[in-house]
Structures are given as C-alpha cells and as structure tokens.
Amino acid sequence: MADLQQAKEWLQQATGVAVLTGAGISAESGVPTFRGTDGLWKDYKPEDLATPEAFLKDPRLVWEWYDWRRGLIAKAKPNAAHRALVQLETRKRGFTLITQNVDGLHDQAGSGKILKLHGDIWRMRCLECGANFPNRRCPLPKLPPHCACGGMARPGVVWFGEPLPDGMLKEAEHAVSQAQVFLVIGTSAAVYPAAGLIPYAKQAGAKVIEINTEATALSAMADCVLQGAAGELLPQLI
C-alpha cells in the first residue's frame, strides 16, 4: 500500500510519462502470454514459428499459428488496464505508449499514438512489392495469404533476429529520456532491445514503476514494484 501511494505521488507530479507494456497487460483479456506456466513458448518453439528462417522453410505452418492467434485475439476486448492508460494519456502533457504487443488492444481501447515495437498482427507485408497493409479477416480463407500484386504476404510483426521498425527504438528512447516516470507493465523484460529501455530510463533519471504479477529479470532495477494484476492495480494507480 505504501508502494502504491509512493508510485501515485511520482505519477501525479510527472509531466512526462512513458509506458512500456508487454503480453501481461492483455492476459486479463484472455490473450495468452509467451513465458510462464501458461505461456505460448511452453508448447511452441519460437525458432519454428517466429523467425524469418521458419517462415522461409514453411510459410503455411507459420501462418496457421498466426491465424490461430488472430482468432484468439479477435475475441478479446481491452480490459481495465488498457482503459486506465487511455485516461492517463489525457492527463499528461508528455505521454508515450510503447508496446511489445501485436494484439491491437491498446488501439481498440482508444490510445493515441502507439510505438508498436514488435509490429501488428492485424497487418501484413508483401514479400514481393513490400506493401504493408491492414487485414482483419479471420480466419484467413487461404494460407499463406497473398497481396493484391500476387506476392506472398507475411505477418506484419517483428520476428526474432529482425530489426525493430525503422527509427522506432530511437523514438522510444527519446520519449523515455524525457519522462520523469517510466511505467513498465506486464513484461518479463526478457526480450531486447525492448527490455533495454528499463536501464535506459534509469540512466536518464526516470522513476521506474513496474507492475507485474511476478518478479522479473529487471525488478531489482525498478524504483517501485507493484505486484499484482495490471487490470486491478492500474486503475488504482491512475
């Protein structure tokens, strides 16, 4: 309770706030996380499904997995944590939402600009002409899907071994360097470069507030750790 009070004060005083979210913020919406006992990486191997090499080897298999995940996400609705961040955005002059999530639930909740470090599961990219286009069809009628130019399309997400979208990490770092508070919600802080934003924020002098149901790789670095579900804690904090 004392921690929550302290975090509230820091947040109220801050004019600049940056937020990093991970799969945990969507867990209460019914979207599976990646790590942990119920995580996707328990039953599936990232190297078979989430790398450019896996896609080249078997595009249909990779698309089957993404089509299945799109089906799960299509049924999910934003929860109280996504909504609380929309509220926070309206109150702060400087506000940047950075997410590792590809599920689109921040957009659906009504957040403004979102730095989607790992792309968007509702977009596709053509391997032939390079077009990057939205597609919400679910399930997809034919796998793998194709672009209007006839080229094969891939999911509009970032896979292991691939760079983040052009300039986006710089933009995220800039936002973090301007923030007095960096809120880190529902991420295991295991995947870089996203997790690197936490030490970056510390170095830049921001107070780091972590919200997570469990301790993470970078909890020791946080100025305040609020342990619990994002959907319960965030509305109390904001």
Candidates 187, 197, 198, 222; binder of ligand OAD (CB under 6 A) is 187
Task: Indicate whether 28 belongs to the interface with ligand OAD (CB under 6 A).
Answer: yes
Size of the site for ligand OAD (CB under 6 A): 29
36 or 165: whose CB is closer to ligand OAD?
Answer: 36
Stretch that binds ligand OAD, among 12-20, 31-39, 126-134, 196-204 (CB under 6 A): 31-39
Beta carbons of 6 and 211 less than 8 angstroms apart: no
110 or 193: whose CB is closer to ligand OAD?
Answer: 193
Candidates 16, 22, 78, 144; binder of ligand OAD (CB under 6 A) is 22
Candidates 16, 24, 104, 145; binder of ligand OAD (CB under 6 A) is 24
Whole-angstrom Cα distance, residue 181 to residue 60? 43
Residues annotated catalytic, as ranges? 118
Task: Indicate whether 118 belongs to the interface with ligand OAD (CB under 6 A).
Answer: yes
Nearest residue to 66 via CA among 103, 19, 109: 103
Positions of E strands within 55-162: 94-99, 114-116, 119-126, 132-134, 153-157
Candidates 123, 186, 206, 209; binder of ligand OAD (CB under 6 A) is 186
Nearest residue to 185 via CA among 226, 129, 140, 126: 226
**Reduced to 3 DSSP states, what percent helix, strand and coil does the chain have, rounded to the nearest 5?**
40, 20, 40
Task: Indicate whether 27 belongs to the interface with ligand OAD (CB under 6 A).
Answer: yes
- Least distance CB 192 / ligand OAD (angstroms): 10
User: Cβ atoms within 10 A of the Cβ of 210, count?
Assistant: 25
Binding residues for ligand OAD restricted to 204-233, rule: CB under 6 A: 211-214, 216, 229-230
Beta carbons of 106 and 78 less than 8 angstroms apart: yes
Beta carbons of 144 and 60 less than 8 angstroms apart: yes
Task: Indicate whether 198 belongs to the interface with ligand OAD (CB under 6 A).
Answer: no
Positions of E strands within the chain: 16-21, 94-99, 114-116, 119-126, 132-134, 153-157, 181-185, 207-212, 224-227
Candidates 17, 20, 23, 183; binder of ligand OAD (CB under 6 A) is 23
Binding residues for ligand OAD restricted to 76-115, rule: CB under 6 A: 100
Alpha-carbon dihedral angle through residues 202, 208, 211, 213, given to the nearest 10 degrees: 40
Task: Indicate whether 196 belongs to the interface with ligand OAD (CB under 6 A).
Answer: no
Task: Indicate whether 193 belongs to the interface with ligand OAD (CB under 6 A).
Answer: no
Interface positions with ligand OAD (CB under 6 A): 22-24, 27-28, 33-36, 39, 46, 50, 100, 118, 158-160, 186-188, 190-191, 211-214, 216, 229-230
